[in-house]
Structure 1
Amino acid sequence: MDNPIRQALVARQLEEQITARFPVGRRLKVLDVALRDGYQALRLARAGHEVTGLESDPALAAAVGRVLADEPEGIRERTHVVSGDSRSTGAHFLPGSFDVVLCHGALVPGDEPGPLLAGLGRVLASGGLLSLLVPNTGARAMRPGLAGDWEGALAGLALSDPADPDERALRLDALTAALTGMSTPLHRWYGVQVFTGGDTALPDGEEGERLLAAEERAGRTDPYRAVADALHLCAVRD
């Protein structure tokens, strides 16, 4: 699994938003853009939802297919993998086709998020939930600084220039404005991995649960969530 701590935290946050927004037992239509290892998509399929994954890398799509082959027939029948780039949603799906759209990791610094976000909003049904996971470009110096890597911290501070348009595009305020402009205003946001980095292993048993409990609480609490490794934005289509 790609970064089990991050995946577990996002899963909990996503479940909270889905439970708050949709009736219990409703089978949702879910699109996972940039499917990758398919962790969130498979979790939602196992929960009874109809899931479509969009993935441009044939090797990643094939890996998800191998995992699906070992799943029960019902899960296989309601999980579909489509070959395509994250910005090609309009070519594959009709407007308003999905109740939930996930886009976790497709946006990186230097990207212009507008076209991708517009495509995601187009395929999201009215009242639907958009889940975005983006790197926290405003806190790049935190992890190296906490590790005593002062050269890395200085480099992160130099990259976190709010005047740089490449950096600003993925900042919370810029994404909030973009989402509002496409009639999908931000409903809730979380910090993901306040205390741990991407290379931190998730311990087994009670220690792992305590780690996740601390991360989950910090991820919804100011000022901690603002310095997390990543930001999880949950927006709702008007």
Structure 2
Amino acid sequence: MTRQLDEQISGRFRVGQRLRVLDVGMGQGTQALRLARVGHQVTGLEQDQKMISAAREALSREPDGIRSRVRIIEGDGRDTGVHFLPGSFDLVLCHGVLMYVEEPDPLVAGLARMLAPGGLLSLLVRNGNALAVRPGLSGDWAGALSAFDTMTYTNRLGLEVRADRLESLTSTLAGIGAPLHTWYGVRIFTDLAVDGAEPPAEVETLLAAEERAGRTDPYRGVAALLHLCGVRD
């Protein structure tokens, strides 16, 4: 997904432009720090105290110049209007957050309002059109059958959360003035990989295969996650 995001940034903004970035649900700050290291000004919004502590700890190990480009705010992604003025950012990230929100449309609309004209909205969501794939490939046939008739699933943390369909998010983005520009599949061949396992020796080949599949039909349509990029009118 990192390569996909970089591709969108390089294709939309001029070379060397320092972007104003909002990372909603920044977690431990992985993306925020990566973008700050290449010169962007990043604001991270997070409400989980453990994640905030981890992000601050990671930030403390960075050089002064990078630390000065990152601001961490405690808050809920649904309250962006409380913290920021409309049009304040060139790039808004919301990765792995929508699945925890019962009604995503107001959140996504609020994120779009934060974008300056021509700004990029990057969403990473669970693919509601492929919920049967993981249990099916795991040999859980009953789970696969039931997944066809639901939009919820149990994630790796043991929490019941929701998924989104490409069609509905495409409609949502069009309706809020940030129509879908492009989309990718994420975790097509690696969704069953064990967390924390050692990467295979052929990791670069694996990443190349994932990258190719993530932008190629019909493979991207059965990805575990969808990476959607909308552009503000």
TM normalised by structure 1 equals 0.89
Which residue number in structure 2 is paired with residue 176 of structure 1? Answer: 170
Any idea what the Cα deviations from partners look like across 1:134-160, whole Å, max 9, x if unmatched?
000111111121222212212222325
2:199 to 196, 203, 208: 203
Which residue number in structure 1 is paired with residue 120 of structure 2? Answer: 129
2:229 equivalent to 1:234: yes
Which residue number in structure 2 is paired with residue 26 of structure 1? Answer: 17
Which residue number in structure 2 is paired with residue 141 of structure 1? Answer: 132
2:201 equivalent to 1:213: no
Q: Which runs of 5+ in 2 are unaligned?
A: 153-160
Question: Using the alignment, how far apart are the partners of 2:112 and 2:33 within structure 1?
Answer: 22
Secondary structure at the counterpart of residue 190 of structure 1: strand
Question: Using the alignment, how far apart are the partners of 2:163 and 2:204 within structure 1?
Answer: 34
Indicate conservation of the 8 Å contact 1:134/1:230, yes or no.
Answer: yes
Indicate conservation of the 8 Å contact 1:185/1:236, yes or no.
Answer: yes
Moved over 4 A (4+): none
- Relative distance call for 1:59 and 1:101 in structure 2 (3 A) is same
2:173 equivalent to 1:157: no
Instruction: Tell me which amino acid in the other structure corresponds to 1:32.
Output: D
2:79 equivalent to 1:88: yes
Cα drift, residue 169 of structure 1: 7.9
Q: How many residues align?
A: 223
Cα RMSD after superposing both structures: 1.9
Cα drift, residue 168 of structure 1: 9.8
Which segment is superposed worse, 120-129 or 139-148? 139-148
Instruction: Tell me which amino acid in the other structure corresponds to 1:191.
Output: G
Question: Using the alignment, how far apart are the partners of 1:104 and 1:154 within structure 2?
Answer: 28
Indicate conservation of the 8 Å contact 2:151/2:164, yes or no.
Answer: no
Indicate conservation of the 8 Å contact 1:113/1:169, yes or no.
Answer: no
Indicate conservation of the 8 Å contact 2:94/2:124, yes or no.
Answer: yes
Question: Using the alignment, how far apart are the partners of 2:69 and 2:87 within structure 1?
Answer: 19
Secondary structure at the counterpart of residue 90 of structure 2: strand
Which residue number in structure 1 is paired with residue 157 of structure 2? Answer: none
TM normalised by structure 2 equals 0.91
Which residue number in structure 2 is paired with residue 6 of structure 1? Answer: none
Q: Which runs of 5+ in 1 are unaligned?
A: 1-9, 162-166
- Relative distance call for 1:197 and 1:38 in structure 2 (3 A) is same
When you count helix as a share of all residues, which structure comes out higher?
Answer: 1
Indicate conservation of the 8 Å contact 1:100/1:124, yes or no.
Answer: yes
Instruction: Tell me which amino acid in the other structure corresponds to 1:217.
Output: R
1:190 to 174, 177, 184: 184
- Relative distance call for 1:44 and 1:198 in structure 2 (3 A) is farther
Which residue number in structure 1 is paired with residue 64 of structure 2? Answer: 73
Share of identical aligned residues, percent? 61
